[in-house]
C-alpha cells in the first residue's frame, strides 16, 4: 500500500509539473525586444519603443512598414529560433500563434534559455475589444508604463461610445470577406477570431454569422447570404490588385445586391482582425460606409 501511495504521489507531482502554466513575466527594463506580429509591433512603436526593438517577424502588411525607417525585420514570416537567439533578446513579445514548437518555439523553450515572453493577441481566447484593451493593459504593466497604456484604453472606449451614438439607421446585413490572395477565394472569420464583427455591430450593422469555424467561403454561400453590404480585408495586401473590382467582375456574384449597388469597402486587415492601439480609422470607415 505504501509503495502504491508513493507511486501515486510521484505521478500527481509529475502531472502538475508538466501541466504548470508558463511563468508570468515580471516587470523590468527591456532593451532587446523581439516582436512577432504586426499588432504588437504597432503598439510598441506608438509607445516609443522603436529603439529597443532588435528583431521583427510575421507581418500582416510588410509594405506599410517601409514608411518607418530602420526597422530590424528578420522575415515577414516566422523567424527561426537560431535567428532570434543570435539577437540575445531580453523579451519576446508576440502573437499566441508564434509560440509553437513548429514555428518559433513554445514558451517553455524560451523559458529554459532564460528569455521572457509575453503573449499579445491570444487566439485560444475569444477575440473582442475588451481582450484588445486587456492586451494594452498587459503591455503597460510589463513595461511599467501603465499611465500611457491606460490613456490608449480610455481612448478606445471613447471611440466605441462615439460610434454607437452615430448609429441611427436600420440595421443592414454585412458580409465580411477576407481575400486569400488566390483566385476568387475568400476566408470567413467567425466572431471569436476577429474584431470587425463587433465594430460592424457597434456602428449599426448586422454581421452575417456563418458559424464558429474559420474556412474558405464557397461562392454558393456568398450568393445565398446576399448581403446588403460587403467588407473586405486582405492579409499581406498587394497594391497591384484591385480586390473590390475583382469581386465586382466575378460573373457568379454580379447579381448580389451589394455588388450591383457597389456597396463594398476594403479596410485594413490588422485593426479589423487583430486590433491595434488606434481603432478610430476602421470605426470611421465602417460607420460612414453603413450610413451611405
Question: pLDDT for 163-194, tens place per residue?
Answer: 987 776 678 999 999 999 998 999 999 999 99
Encode pLDDT of 52-93 as tens digits: 999 999 999 988 777 777 899 999 999 999 999 999 999 999
CA distances from 115 to 26, 31, 84, 141, 152 (A): 12, 13, 10, 18, 28
- 272: cell is 479589423
Alpha carbon distance 63, 237 (integer Å): 8
Quote the pLDDT of residue 25: 62
CB 221 within 8 A of CB 253: no
The C-alpha atoms of residue 19 and residue 222 are separated, in whole angstroms, by: 43
In terms of phi and psi (left: phi > 0; alpha: psi -120 to 50; beta: otherwise), the region of 151 is: alpha
Residue 3 has pLDDT above 50, yes or no: no
Determine if the pTM surpasses 0.95.
no
pLDDT at 122 over 90: yes
Kind plus residue range of the DSSP H or E element containing 134: helix 129-143
Asked if 225 contacts 176 with a C-beta cutoff of 8 angstroms, the reply is: no
Q: Chain-wide mean pLDDT for the chain? A: 90
Spell out the residues 6+ positions from residue 238 whose beta carbon is closer than 8 angstroms to its own. Answer: 181
Please check the confidence at residue 6 and state whether its pLDDT lies above 70.
Answer: no
pLDDT at 153 over 80: yes
Contact between 205 and 286 (Cβ < 8 Å): yes
The set of cell numbers assigned to 166 is 452615430
Query: Does position 15 have pLDDT exceeding 90, yes or no?
Result: no
**Mean pLDDT over residues 204-217, rounded?**
96
CA 120, CA 53: separation in Å to the nearest integer? Answer: 16
Residue 1 has pLDDT above 60, yes or no: no
Amino acid at each position: 500500500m505504501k509503495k502504491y501511495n508513493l507511486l501515486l504521489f510521484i505521478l500527481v507531482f509529475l502531472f502538475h509539473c508538466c501541466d504548470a502554466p508558463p511563468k508570468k513575466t515580471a516587470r523590468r527594463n527591456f532593451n532587446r525586444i523581439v516582436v512577432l506580429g504586426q499588432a504588437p509591433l504597432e503598439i510598441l512603436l506608438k509607445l516609443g519603443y522603436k529603439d529597443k526593438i532588435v528583431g521583427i517577424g510575421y507581418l500582416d502588411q510588410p509594405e506599410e512598414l517601409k514608411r518607418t525607417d530602420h526597422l530590424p525585420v528578420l522575415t515577414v514570416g516566422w523567424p527561426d529560433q537560431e535567428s532570434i537567439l543570435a539577437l540575445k533578446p531580453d523579451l519576446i513579445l508576440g502573437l499566441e500563434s508564434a509560440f509553437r514548437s513548429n514555428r518559433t518555439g513554445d514558451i517553455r523553450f524560451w523559458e529554459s534559455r532564460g528569455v521572457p515572453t509575453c503573449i499579445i493577441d491570444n487566439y485560444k481566447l475569444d477575440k473582442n475589444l475588451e481582450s484588445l484593451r486587456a492586451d494594452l493593459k498587459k503591455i503597460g504593466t510589463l513595461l511599467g508604463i501603465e499611465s500611457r497604456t491606460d490613456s490608449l484604453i480610455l481612448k478606445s472606449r471613447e471611440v466605441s461610445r462615439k460610434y454607437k451614438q452615430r448609429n441611427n439607421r436600420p440595421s443592414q446585413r454585412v458580409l465580411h470577406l477576407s481575400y486569400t490572395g488566390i483566385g476568387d477565394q475568400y476566408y470567413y472569420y467567425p466572431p471569436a477570431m476577429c474584431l470587425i464583427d463587433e465594430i460592424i455591430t457597434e456602428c449599426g450593422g448586422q454581421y452575417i454569422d456563418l458559424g464558429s469555424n474559420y474556412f474558405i467561403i464557397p461562392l454558393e454561400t456568398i450568393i445565398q447570404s446576399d448581403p446588403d453590404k460587403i467588407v473586405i480585408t486582405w492579409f499581406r495586401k498587394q497594391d497591384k490588385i484591385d480586390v473590390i473590382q475583382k469581386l465586382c467582375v466575378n460573373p457568379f456574384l454580379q447579381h448580389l445586391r451589394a455588388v450591383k449597388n457597389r456597396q463594398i469597402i476594403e479596410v485594413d486587415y490588422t485593426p479589423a482582425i487583430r486590433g491595434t492601439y488606434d481603432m478610430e480609422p476602421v470605426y470611421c470607415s465602417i460607420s460612414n460606409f453603413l450610413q451611405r
